[in-house]
Structure formats: C-alpha cells, structure tokens
Amino acid sequence: MQANIPDPQQRKPIRRIVIAGGGTAGWMVAAGLSKSLGRRLDIRLIESDDIGTVGVGEATIPTLMNFHSLLEINEQEFMAATAATFKLGISFENWRAPGQDYIHSFGLTGTDHWMAGFQHFWHKGRERALAGDYGDYCLELKAAQAQRFAHLPRNGMNYAYHLDASRYAKFLRTFAESFGVTRIEAKIDQVQTDPASGDITALRLDSGTLVEGDLFIDCTGFRALLIGGAMQVAYADWSEWLLCDSAIAVQTESTGPALPYTRSIAREAGWQWRIPLQHRVGNGIVYSSRHTDEAQARAGLLANIDGAALTEPRLIRFTPGQRHQTWKGNCVAIGLASGFLEPIESTSIHLIQRGIIRLLQMFPSDGIHQSDVDEYNRQTSAEVEHIRDFIILHYHVTNRRDTPFWRACAEMAVPPSLRHRIALFRDSGRVFRTPNELFAENSWIQVMLGQGIMPAQHHQAADLMGDAELLAFLEGIRSAVNKTVLQLPSHQQYVERFCGVPKR
C-alpha cells in the first residue's frame, strides 16, 4: 500500500478534482467541496442523463441539517425546491410481532441522572405501576403520533426531512455550479491509471476527451467504476447478517395529509417503506431473494399501497457491505460506490455527508499522505460497522418466527460487538456510545425496548426515589410533553405554510 504514495519531494498539490457520477452523492460532493474549498480547486463533475440513479434515498436523519448549515442553505428554499416534509422518526410496524408497533424517534426521552440514564427510572416506574410507555416521555415521539409539528425555540424539536431525491440533486447542482463547478455531460469509457503508482491519471469519455485530475471521487453508484474497477478494491459482503438483497420502488399519489414520520412495515420476507412528500408518496419493499421472488415481492408491494401508482415499479439489486478501503491512492469512493446498508434507518445520505466532511477535514492540499488515507479508512470502517450492527438489531431481536425469513433472522449468529450490546442492555439496562458513533443511547434504547428486550434490572440510583417522588418526576416530564404537543399545529398545515409547493 505504501508504494502507491509518492515521496514528499514527489508529491504534487491537489488542485484538480474530478467527480465521476452525479445523483445525490455526486452533487453533494460537488456542493461541499465547492462551497468550502472552491477558490482553491478546479472541480469537474461527469454524468450522463442516459444513466439513471438509484434515487430512492428520500428519508433522512437530523445530521443533514449540519451539512446544510455548513453550506449555508436556506431551509425554506431547500424544502420548497425538493417538495420536502418534516420527519420526527420512523414507525416500525409488525417488527417485534404482527400487530405490535413502536416509533424510533429523533428526540431525547426523559431526563438522565449523572449515574444512570432515564430508562432506569422509567424501569422502576414500570415495576411500581407508576410509568406509562417509554415513548410517553419523548416530545418528538408524541408529536409524531399526533401528526403535529413546529419549529420550537432553542432548537427544541429534533427533526429531519423526507425529500425528493431527484429534485435534491438538481437543487445541489444549481448550488454547486454557482460556486464554479463544471458539469460535463458524458459517459465514462475508460479509467486510465499510472503503471508505476497505480493512481488514476484521467477518465476517457465516450467523446474521446480525456479529463485529467489530481484527485478522483467515485460516485458511480453500485458500478464503482473507479474504486472497484480501476483500483480493484475488494468488497466485504455482509449478507450473512443482512439477508435482504433486493428492493422494488414505486411512487404513488398522496391520498391524505403527510405524516411526520417514515413508515417501515415488516412483511413476510422483508419490509415495506412509505415516505410522504408534499406532492407524492415514495413506496418500496426491501426483501431477501432467498426467501421470496421478484413477482411475489412486487405483488405484495402493489397490494399494500395507497393511491394510484405514478411510476412503474423499479427493481434494485444490491449486496449489503462495504469496500475494504474507501480511499485508495488518489481515489475516494463516496455513496453507493463505497458500500451499501439498506435504508431501514435512513443512513444513506448521512454516510455521503460523513464521507464529504471527513474528506474536507483531511483534504490533501499539499499531496496525499498515507497516514491520512489510513485514518480516513479507519474512521469510515468503524462508523459503518456501528450502523451495520444497529440495523442487524432490528432483524435479530424479534419475537417473529412465522416465516422462514424471520426464523433465519432470529437464529443467525450476530457480530460480537452487537452481541455484547444486547447482553449489556438485557442484563442491566445499560447502553454506551463510542466516540463519533451515529446512533446515540436513546436510539438503541428505543429499538431494543421496541423489539422486545426488557432489562432484568435497573440502576440503584432509581431506588433513591420513593414512590411519590418518582411519580412526580415521571408525571412532570409526561405532562410537559403533552402540553407542548397540544400547542403544535398539524404537520400538514405547518408544511403548507412554511414551504408549501403550489398544487398543480
């Protein structure tokens, strides 16, 4: 690996950036680099209108607001341009067992003590018949159930967005071009490399034109033309834990008010999504081809949609996993080219922006250093593995045994890192978060409780409260949440007022 990095005397400054591929990933990269370093860089993006994008990553998580803040994007303009709605969490329906639902919200639940999290006080309250559902103490969850939303003072409501991915790419294209990014309409015919170093030197287009560069960003999606093709970086296949390998997507007309949450509905061999936008609803089914076929999955999806279909159902095949390296030589893979984790927790766009921010933090202005490459890859692998474990949790911890798919999920051996988290929470109610990990303690708690794990005990700090004091503590939180929710307008009304797209 060291041979690919030139000696300091031979390193050349990085000035010419070539982004291979557009779509959400390509234009997010272009927007991030041009806004932050555009004055120092020549940035060109190559894409072809003849090559489609996956374009179904339409549910996001709150970290997207950090990216927009860095770019100084106006929220109302962005939401109007992408027909976006607000998202307070994800409703998991039938995952624990048929007929049992829960919401993984973006909010905090209750109030923690320095010795122990709120779940320990709630746990004692349940034992003493003093507490309601765990979600009763979370503002975002209760607002989602009530279909209400508003911006609150001091960022008092945690939220994300549902957005039209195709419109988002167009919005970011306009943004990036305003900062000097050049778009080249073409297909890539060949990736040329240096025989000595193995680095990419140029991309040959279908027109015969050579586009040379110093740093190449692979946003070519599942094809991974640069990182997988030219750089020959192998792929770690995680199908042993993540059984789903296919998806079918279809768009439908809206039939009612937009919900402020994503719906994830467990099916016989996978799950179905519903993502409400202002002008339509995004639908799809994620499934295991080992446990059902395309025709059955398609029929099951179309039998469970509301509203007329606006598009033909589109099949997407994928292998869950991650490249062994997402940065090799002078090539960085971002988006689907770097790996894929199914959209159950809406992490695809988050991983794109994390790749961009990490690249900006380690940008090789004076030439590529192997130490930066190694650290980039180490951080990326750790982050994706944490998300992988969180996704596996949803499938593995379940009471469902009604189909071969769910039995396989429940019986499979999970990674040791996840096995430890489950055992820790089951035994003691404790959770932990490693540095830079995406999902906070409350996310793990909501999903583990929702999937059916009840801790065997609680921290003794909760025993310092008598029944009267504990009841007053719990009721104070619950009543404050309910009072705030009742003051919120409906989500549909708020969206129409804040960023409504004119009806056609």
CB 365 within 8 A of CB 17: no
Which residue bears the tokens 């370093």?
37
| Percentage of the chain exceeding pLDDT 70 | 96
- Of 499, 1, 504, 46, the C-alpha closest to 253 is 504
Residue 53's pLDDT is: 63
Which of the residue ranges 78-92, 198-212, 331-345, 433-447 would you say has the lowest mean pLDDT? 433-447
Q: Is the pLDDT assigned to residue 8 strictly greater than 60?
A: no
Least confident span in 1-10, 212-221, 417-426, 428-437 = 1-10
What's the confidence (pLDDT) of residue 7? 55
Would residue 87 show up in a list of annotated catalytic residues for this protein?
yes
The sheet carrying 321-323 orders its strands as 235-237, 321-323, 339-340
Cα distance between residue 66 and residue 164, in whole Å: 19
For residues 124-137, give the mean pLDDT.
Answer: 97
Count other C-beta atoms under 10 Å from residue 308's C-beta. Answer: 8
Model pLDDT, residue 2: 45
Q: Helical H runs in 100-181? A: 118-127, 139-146, 165-178
Nearest to 18 by CA among 57, 47, 39: 47
- The CA angle 37-229-349, to the nearest 5 degrees, is 45
Q: What is the CA radius of gyration of the chain?
A: 24
Higher pLDDT, 461 or 6: 461
Residue 484 is which amino acid?
Answer: T
C-alpha separations of 384 from 82, 222, 223, 351, 374 in Å: 27, 17, 20, 8, 15
Is 9 a residue whose pLDDT tops 50? no
pLDDT tier, 39 (very low <50, low <70, confident <90, very high otherwise): confident
Q: Which residues contact 135 (CB under 8 A, 6 or more apart)?
A: 102, 103, 105, 109, 141, 142, 145, 446
How far is it, in rounded angstroms, from Cα 188 to Cα 196?
23
Is the entire prediction scored with pTM above 0.85? yes
Q: What is the pLDDT of residue 138?
A: 98
Cβ atoms of 338 and 348 closer than 8 Å: no
Residues 90-105, mean pLDDT to the nearest whole number:
98
CA distance 207 to 204: 8
Exposure letters 369-384 (e unless 16+ CB within 10 A, then b): eeebbeebbebbbebb
Are the C-beta atoms of 143 and 260 separated by less than 8 Å?
yes
Q: What are phi and psi of 355, to 5 degrees?
A: -65, -40
* Single-letter amino acid code for the residue at 366: D
Amino acid at 344: I
262-267/89-97 β-pairing: parallel
Tell me which residue has tokens 């061999």: 269
> Which pLDDT does position 69 carry in this prediction?
96
Q: Is the pLDDT of residue 410 over 60?
A: yes
| Spatial strand order in the sheet of 182-185 | 182-185, 42-47, 16-20, 215-218, 331-333, 327-328
Cα 120 to Cα 430: distance, rounded to the nearest angstrom: 8
How many residues appear in the chain? 504
Residue 317 has pLDDT above 70, yes or no: yes
Among the residues of 310-369, which ranges form H helices?
348-361
The mean per-residue pLDDT over the stretch 193-220 comes to 97
Distance CA 221, CA 48 (A): 13
Distance of CA 258 to the CA centre of its chain: 20
* Nearest CA among 70, 25, 65, 26 for reference residue 352: 25
Helix/strand/coil for 276: strand
Question: Is 144's pLDDT higher than 60?
Answer: yes
Torsion of CA 9, 15, 16, 19, to 10 degrees: 110
Q: What is the mean pLDDT of residues 117-131?
A: 96
User: What pLDDT is stored for residue 3 in this prediction?
Assistant: 46
Instruction: Examine the pLDDT at 351 and tell me if it is beyond 60.
Output: yes
Q: What is the CATH number of domain 13-85+163-238+320-385?
A: 3.50.50.60
Sequence-separated (6 or more) residues with CB below 8 Å from residue 57: 24, 165, 343, 346, 348, 349
Compute the distance between CA of residue 424 and CA of residue 196 in angstroms, rounded to an integer: 50
d(CA 429, CA 12): 53
Average pLDDT, the chain: 94
The pLDDT, as a whole number, for residue 305 is: 96
Q: Which of 35, 87, 124, 142 is catalytic?
A: 87
Q: Per residue in 153-179, pLDDT tens?
A: 998 999 999 999 999 999 999 999 999
Residue 435 pLDDT: 79
Helix, strand, coil shares of the chain, percent, nearest 5, are: 40, 20, 40
Residue 414 DSSP symbol: P
Nearest to 147 by CA among 479, 496, 497, 488: 488
**pLDDT number for residue 11:** 74
Tokens 């998202």 correspond to what residue?
87
pLDDT at residue 434, rounded to an integer = 83
Cα 88 from chain centroid? Answer: 14
Sheet holding 188-193, edge to edge: 188-193, 200-205, 210-212
pLDDT of residue 4: 54
Domain boundaries, the chain: 13-85+163-238+320-385, 246-317
Euclidean distance between CA atoms 78 and 499, whole angstroms: 9
Q: Is the pLDDT of residue 339 over 90?
A: yes
Mean pLDDT of 195-207: 96
